[in-house]
Chain A
Amino acid sequence: MAMSLAFHIIFAVVGIAMPLMMVIAEWKWLRTRDEIYLTLAKQWAKGTAILFAVGAVSGTVLSFELGLLWPEFMRYAGPIIGMPFSLEGFAFFLEAIFLGIYLYGWKRVSPRAHWLAGIVVAFSGMLSGVFVVTANAWMNTPAGFEMVNGKPVNIQPIAAMLNPAALQQVIHMTIAAYAAVGFAVAAIHAFMLRRDARNPFHRRAFGIAFSLGALMALLQPLSGDFLARQVFRNQPAKLAAMEGLFKTETRAPLHLGGWPDEKTGTMKGDIEIPSGLSLLVYHKPEGEIKGLEAFPRDQWPPVAVVHLSFQIMVGCGMLMMLAGFIGGWLAWRKNSPCDRKWFLWLTMLCGPLGFVAIETGWTVTEVGRQPWIIYGIMRTADAVTPMPRLVVPFIAFTVLYIFLAFVVIFLLKRQVFQSPKNFGEPERKKA
């Protein structure tokens, strides 16, 4: 399941962000009638098509796996968190329908209708992401029901969907999706620009993708702060694990890097910023933050994994922010970022980081919730299927996914790593 999710999350994120860029490119074409933008929109649409199809089938696998692997969890939680999943179903429906129109309808509908279809794809893609994340947020901060004799009663699906963590997680994840995909696509075009610096196709592509990625990377710390303070309120043990904080302190330090040792309850090899954590949480240097010692030992999440993942996520985010900042500054100084070799290298370096940040961030939220599958209510071990030899389907799906990933990379390489030279009529006239 974790494997499927880790795999699906990448495609889902691409399905959220790629259509937006494709629509921006097409909009530029409609505005300027610059054929390069049309070529770009079509090129990106191809990439979207491949990734969306794989995302769609891997998403189907997930909807079944919920039951195949966690029958107890679903029997318990299905009715409570069904609302976002039902709505997600419809959002996904709309995305699939209008993507079909977008991909195959270039000649069948008017340019405006075609562009609007793209808008629907981008919007419903974002919505389906939003709904799924609210369901995940519910696992972190369950709401919308009451427990009577170990059974959930008085279920209010809407209240469950709008649980305390929903808004923060949704914002954080959506921005992350746009930032990661923006940077990844910018990196691909930066790679091409390194060899073919004057190609207007890649320059324009880089412009759109990098602007989106940079803007989102610069916004992300705000949403991160918003989310972290929510975690502090609702899941203090998770926050303590994220920050590697073992002792409860009123001037809690911020640990950068380092390896938390669960046995001795100390941090090793970290850089400590006094009062840093209290400052971040309370926005002032003093304020009590519970350390792990405040929780029973059997309710600790695996501290090292959570802390390390969190540090990696933040590090990636910082680098992307830095790149975004430099890029913005270069553009403001009228130096096109495309002409700086070192900057292209920097962008290429940042390309995979967004996805690393997403995977590690997801690890933080999932592993940080352990040992609970529904925070404070159901333990993960109680939810798993009684089916023996789970390792067999696990290996089968893993092999399948690795195979798919290879094919996708291979195809994208051929489809997307191209330098189109002819852009319809206007370009040829110039030549």
Chain B
Amino acid sequence: MTLAELIGFVMIVSLVLYALGAGADFGGGVWDLFASGPRAKRQRELIAHAIGPIWEANHVWLILVIVLLFVAFPPAFAAISVALHIPLAVMLVGIVLRGSAFVFRSYDIQTDDVQRRWSRLFAVGSIVAPIMLGVCVGAIAAGNLRVHAETGTVETNFISQWLGAFPFAIGLWTLGLFAFLAAVYLTNETEEEELREDFRRRALAAGLAVALLALVSFVLAETGAPLIRRGLSKEWWSIPFQIATGLISVSAMGAVWRRRYRLARVLAMAQIAFIIGGWGLAQFPLLIGPDLTFTNSAAPDSVLRALVKALVAGAVLLFPSLWYLYRIFKNPVGR
């Protein structure tokens, strides 16, 4: 493994952790919007209680991915920033709205109409951001970003690379996955049987939507993203890997169905990790297809070496702190 590949691996891991943490926080926003029935208020409280202490820390993974991208693979960062300017900007608006509305809601007066207004904004942000994140991922996976080898400029009209059926299918799929993940987490966050049932039903509904969107994306990939479609079956282990991902997804649904919530949480997390990891493997060694690979877009070795050292030093501080945070707020279950 070269240094560039190592950093690429760290980026994928960070992306997985972002999806597992912040993804579920976005999903919480979705369920805030769809809070309904006699327990709507308690559903919202549970969501707020679950994500309150941790969402800001979860959010930092995305910043880490971006920083790694521009430090280690500057041409890739420049290409994405230019070609995907519009969806990225919209995603940022979503992120800003989500985060600030959430905090404003907890510190604004607790009357219903004020709370509802912030909830609405929080929910809209939580829906827009993952869709746009998915659109960007879809656009990258489609592999249509031509980058000029000599000048490093990207050929784009700023629109056609992402405005298509495939990127948007991936966008919706991302939203569905995050909503599923959030609902599964939330079944683990409460001791109240009725609330738990509410989120069980929501998890099942989201799970079905995820399965459907996965199928749609796969079909659309035929024409919309031949690169990733080929990548999904290029090695001897590719097909078994896809089967494993599918099995895990089905088992996660099954665990929710049989009310094995702790197991469901583990499986849902594994599902996300497999999907993102599978995407990474499918397009490796390409970073931004079809022109930029992890090798040809990497910064000089002196930079990468220093970066790896910084990552190790940072990780030594980061992981114990994260562990401490989660131990305080997430264990034992339902406290």
Contact = CB atoms under 8 A, between A and B. Distances in A.
A411 B311 CA distance: 38
Interface residues of A, number: 67
Interface stretch (A86-94, A168-176, A183-191, A216-224): A86-94
A90 B35 CA distance: 35
B60 A78 contact: no
Q: Main SS of chain A's interface residues?
A: helix
B78 A75 contact: yes
B74 A101 contact: no
A404 B299 contact: no
Contacts of A411: 104, 107-108
B57 A71 contact: no
B325 A79 contact: no
A61 interface: yes
A371 interface: no
B66 to A, nearest CB: 5
Interface stretch (B88-96, B174-182, B185-193): B88-96
Contact of A155 (B85, B300, B317): B300
A71 B302 contact: no
Contacts of B149: none
Interface string A38-73: 000000001001101110111111011011100110
B53 A105 contact: yes
A414 B108 CA distance: 8
Q: Main SS of chain B's interface residues?
A: helix
B81 A56 contact: no
A60 B59 contact: yes
Given A108-B328, A154-B302, A404-B96, A90 B80 contact: no
A393 interface: yes
A156 interface: yes
A404 B63 CA distance: 21
Contacts of B82: 71, 385-387
Contacts of B93: 396-397, 400
A68 to B, nearest CB: 5
B138 interface: no
Contact of B318 (A79, A90, A103, A156): A90
B88 A68 contact: yes
Q: Which of A61, A67, A385, A393 has the most CB of B within 10 A?
A: A67
B36 interface: no
Contact of B56 (A52, A86, A109, A154): A52
Interface in B146-178: 152-153, 158
Interface string A148-176: 00000111111000000000000000000
